[in-house]
Amino acid sequence: MLKKNRLFTPGPTPLLPQAQTAMASYGAHHRTADFRALFTRVLTDVKEFIGTRNDVLVLTSSGTGFMEASISNLTSPGDRVLVLTAGKFGERWTSLAKAFGCAVETVTAPYGETISLEEVRHKLTPEIRCVYVQATESSTGARHDVEAIAKLVRALPDTLFVVDAITGLGTTRLDVDGWGIDVIIGGSQKALMIPPGLAYGAISERAWQRMETAKSPRYYFDLRKERKSAAKAETAYTPATSLFAGLAAALDYVRQMGDGNLAAGRDALIANAELCAAMTRAGVQALGLKLFAPSSPAAALTAVAAPAGADSTAICKRFREQFGAVVANGQAEMKGQLFRIAHIGYYDYLDTVGVLAALEHVIAEATGKAVEFGCAVRAAQEVYARAMAKTQTTVEVR
Ligand SMILES: *Cc1c(COP(=O)(O)O)cnc(C)c1O
């Protein structure tokens, strides 16, 4: 059979066709009125997409660049910081903070679980300068309770709260200003449906003030310099201009999803991810598979434990070779133990039931056991039908 290449990875995610067209035809120089107009429009829209009154920046780098900036701009060597970690991206915060000489304390949860609020409360002292966490830990499929953690951090006046929401933005409700998140970070290759290369984020006034005294070295990722340039509708260095054109098109698409309201479109995108995730969880469980993060599953992606006796590397390989579907394996020491199906951004009903139908074949092959074809698809359809019935009732009630 014909095979279409389809990404089900939690970044990069499938590209929005309108954004691809916009990128292919964009050729303006970055120090021109044309680009300044595009840049201003993108910053305004990103601000609305994040849902904040804080200043936003869009950097030409992968998401990790903005993570690094959130360490180097906010800390001085020797500063005590607290990292809340439950996976490979949490561990990245620890490595980054150590690279800049911070004294790193951690609250650690086993892979597949979420952070214990009790332990956070215990470790959170006024000497902690910054707290770093993920909104959704893409390596395990777990969602952390950012609102509850924010409440604990906000009780301390001088502790900054930084959230890597690179797979959280556009898949999870995050009230950045209401909860008091000082830095929130997103990446272009996730919910915004364009290729890798841009990182975006919002920065609170408290965080801007900290930058005045923070002494860690920084140059390319000096956020104060970017803020100054942004005030003149420019970037400090050469930006990835075509990605900005793609981002503008993607944000327009999200606005259309909200009938002209970008924030409503973002909420619709979140609801879409939530429904794709609920369908997928029902489908994999109907097949007898176990979720890798059952207690707190993210809408960004579903991580599924490899069935007993099977290796997820073979499962991912089979998906790719038989169906052209790129499903993510476990990272590092989790390789072989789980596979991950993303719901971030540009996924619809047919993508979701399609990948579940393929999964039925893949699991039959991987376990050598008979699979009742249609069982995963049917469970997903039932979730979908119930969700549709519910939206219909709400419309009628109104
Ligand atoms: C994708 C991702 C990142 C950023 O990775 P880059 O490869 O630098 O873009 C960081 N954190 C999480 C949770 C992610 O999913």
Phi-psi domain of 144 (left: phi exceeds 0; alpha: psi -120 through 50; beta: other): beta
Mean pLDDT of 312-336: 98
Which one-letter amino acid corresponds to residue 298? A
Q: Are residues 230 and 267 in the same domain?
A: no
Q: Confirm whether 52 is domain-assigned.
A: yes
Q: Are residues 218 and 299 in the same domain?
A: no
69-86 confidence digits (pLDDT tens) = 999 999 999 999 999 999
Could you tell me what percent of the chain has a pLDDT over 90? 98
Q: Are residues 181 and 272 in the same domain?
A: no
CATH code of residue 350? 3.90.1150.10
365 Cβ partners below 8 Å, 6+ apart? Answer: 318
**β-pair partners for 105:** 82
Q: Confirm whether 144 is domain-assigned.
A: yes
292-309 confidence digits (pLDDT tens) = 999 999 999 999 999 999
Of 211, 237, 257, which residue is a domain's last? Answer: 257
**pTM for the model:** 0.98
Q: What is the DSSP letter of 307?
A: P
Q: Whose CA is nearest to atom 4 of ligand 1?
A: 63
Q: Confirm whether 310 is domain-assigned.
A: yes
Mutation test residue for ligand 1: of 167, 172, 198, 331, the one with most atoms within 8 Å of CB: 167
Q: Are residues 266 and 252 in the same domain?
A: no
Q: What are phi and psi of 128, to 5 degrees?
A: -70, 120
**Spatial distance between the Cα atoms of 41 and 26, rounded to a whole number of angstroms:** 15
Expressed as residue numbers, the domain containing 378 is 6-12+261-397
Mean pLDDT of 226-249: 98
Q: Is the CB of 185 under 6 A from ligand 1?
A: no
Q: Are residues 289 and 367 in the same domain?
A: yes
| 312 has a pLDDT exceeding 80 | yes
Of 214, 233, 257, which residue is a domain's last? Answer: 257
Q: Is the CB of 187 under 6 A from ligand 1?
A: yes
Helix (H) or strand (E) holding 22: helix 17-24
Which one-letter amino acid corresponds to residue 51? G
Q: What is the DSSP letter of 182?
A: S
Band of the pLDDT at 391, cuts 50, 70, 90?
Answer: confident
268-287 confidence digits (pLDDT tens) = 999 999 999 999 999 999 99
* 338-342: strand order across its sheet: 301-305, 338-342, 328-329
Q: Is the CB of 140 under 6 A from ligand 1?
A: no
Instruction: Say how many domains are in the chain.
Output: 2
Q: Is 106 exposed, middle or buried (0-12, 13-18, 19+ CB in 10 A)?
A: middle
Q: Confirm whether 303 is domain-assigned.
A: yes
Q: Are residues 167 and 299 in the same domain?
A: no
**Spatial distance between the Cα atoms of 181 and 151, rounded to a whole number of angstroms:** 10
Which one-letter amino acid corresponds to residue 37? A
Q: Are residues 230 and 362 in the same domain?
A: no
**Spatial distance between the Cα atoms of 373 and 200, rounded to a whole number of angstroms:** 43
Of 257, 280, 300, which residue is a domain's last? Answer: 257
* 134 CA closest ligand 1 atom index: 13
Band of the pLDDT at 392, cuts 50, 70, 90?
Answer: confident
* 11 CA closest ligand 1 atom index: 1
Q: Count of CB atoms within 10 A of residue 60's CB?
A: 19
Q: What is the DSSP letter of 297?
A: B
267 Cβ partners below 8 Å, 6+ apart? Answer: 173, 258
Q: Are residues 269 and 285 in the same domain?
A: yes
Q: Are residues 274 and 178 in the same domain?
A: no
pLDDT for position 395: 56
Q: Confirm whether 81 is domain-assigned.
A: yes
**Spatial distance between the Cα atoms of 35 and 40, rounded to a whole number of angstroms:** 8
**Spatial distance between the Cα atoms of 387 and 224, rounded to a whole number of angstroms:** 45
281 Cβ partners below 8 Å, 6+ apart? Answer: 291, 297, 302
8-22 confidence digits (pLDDT tens) = 999 999 999 999 999
* 64 CA closest ligand 1 atom index: 8
Q: Is the CB of 159 under 6 A from ligand 1?
A: no
Q: Are residues 186 and 96 in the same domain?
A: yes
pLDDT for position 397: 53
Q: Are residues 267 and 388 in the same domain?
A: yes
CATH code of residue 190? 3.40.640.10
Could you tell me what percent of the chain has a pLDDT over 70? 98
Q: Confirm whether 1 is domain-assigned.
A: no
The number of CA neighbours under 13 Å toward the Cβ of 242 is: 12
Please, what is the end-to-end C-alpha distance for the chain in angstroms?
A: 47
Structure-block tokens of residue 271: 């609801």
Q: Are residues 267 and 253 in the same domain?
A: no
Q: Confirm whether 56 is domain-assigned.
A: yes
Q: Confirm whether 192 is domain-assigned.
A: yes
Q: Is the CB of 87 under 6 A from ligand 1?
A: no
**β-pair partners for 55:** 203
Q: SS in 3 state form for 74-92?
A: CCCCCCEEEEEECCHHHHH
**Nearest residue to 104 via CA among 77, 126, 69:** 77
Cβ pair 227, 236 in contact under 8 A: no
Cβ pair 68, 91 in contact under 8 A: no
Q: Whose CA is nearest to atom 14 of ligand 1?
A: 166
76-121 confidence digits (pLDDT tens) = 999 999 999 999 999 999 999 999 999 999 999 999 999 999 999 9
Mean pLDDT of 141-145: 98
pLDDT for position 54: 98
Q: Could you identify the residue written with the tokens 């390596």? A: 139
pLDDT for position 167: 98
pLDDT for position 398: 45
